[in-house]
Amino acid sequence: MPELPEVETIKRALKKTLQGATITNVALSNKRLRFPISKNALSTIIGQRITGIRRRAKYLLFDLENNLILLAHLGMTGKFYLAHASEQIRQHDHIRLTLANGHELRFNDVRRFGFVDILQRDHANKHDRLKNLGVEPLEKTFNGQCLFSKTRKTKKPIKNLLMDAKVVVGVGNIYASEALFMAGVHPKKIASNLTKEQCNRIAIAVKQVLNDSIKQGGTTLKDFASLNGEQGYFAMRLQVYGRRGENCTVCSKPIDRLVLAGRSTFFCKNCQKL
């Protein structure tokens, strides 16, 4: 399943290639995606120029000239790839946007948990998928102060809070474990008991693990064509995740595992005291 760093990398690649391109036609397969979209709705973007491509959480937003937004989510197996319009359609190509330059942006999704929707820019923040999203972890608004205030009234373990998209978006299970190790905070620590200093360290660590992963992605996906490649977590250098029983890279004691909210959580008892 594509994670935030991957979606960010895909966004950058799409932006480089598609910003300024004009959509001249659209086509749909007869298979339903996670949410259905009608040919009529999709047709409203014909003739429109793509003025920008943004990311919000794990959603891609294509801004169009006529104040519409094409919203896309990759689900489990969704991917975008670019082909010449004359190139044969592949199995699982569900949406095709023909561009004025003779190319086609194709949305291919084997399991069809992904989807595409068209929305009015003015109503974007009220869209069902976007309205309850928390802060973006890579933006300045996510910092120690922000995390400190969001943790004051909750008895949840900090790891669960970090993975709550209503609080902060895009911090997946692996990233949460890695960031808490980097910050020296036990994953089970009750959020309201965190000090401001710990919140600062966690916010910095979250940004660092995500940025490291984006950097990896930048080298993995060198050009747009590779958007078609394998998806999942980028090959990160993991300090704790999946390393139960192996030596901690800081203190050499064995890494532990526990389960929080049904998810495997890895940490060092010695470096991350409760």
183 binds Zn ion (CB under 5 A): no
The enclosing H or E element of 95 equals strand 93-99
**In the structure encoding, which two tokens stand for residue 92, read together?**
């699982």
Total number of residues that touch Zn ion (CB under 5 A)? 6
Q: Which stretch binds Zn ion (CB under 5 A): 54-62, 80-88, 178-186, 242-250?
A: 242-250
- Whether 2 is catalytic is yes
250 binds Zn ion (CB under 5 A): yes
Interhelix angle 196-220/4-18, rounded to 10 degrees, is 50
CA 143 to mean position of chain CA atoms: 19
- Whether 263 is catalytic is yes
Shorter beta-carbon distance to Zn ion: residue 42 or 255:
255
Among 97, 248, 256, 267, binds Zn ion (CB under 5 A): 248
251 binds Zn ion (CB under 5 A): yes
- Considering the candidates 55, 58, 150, 201, report the single residue annotated as catalytic: 58
Shorter beta-carbon distance to Zn ion: residue 22 or 270:
270
Closest to 256 measured CA to CA, from 183, 181, 159: 181
CA–CA gap between residue 10 and residue 227 (Å, rounded): 7
Question: Would you mind telling me the total number of residues written for the chain in this entry?
Answer: 274
Positions 3 through 62 that interact with Zn ion (CB under 5 A): none
**In the structure encoding, which two tokens stand for residue 260, read together?**
């929080």
Position with the least CB separation from Zn ion: 248
Closest to 216 measured CA to CA, from 185, 174, 250: 174
Shorter beta-carbon distance to Zn ion: residue 91 or 252:
252
Residues serving a catalytic function are 2-3, 58, 263
- Interface with Zn ion (CB under 5 A): 248, 250-251, 268, 270-271
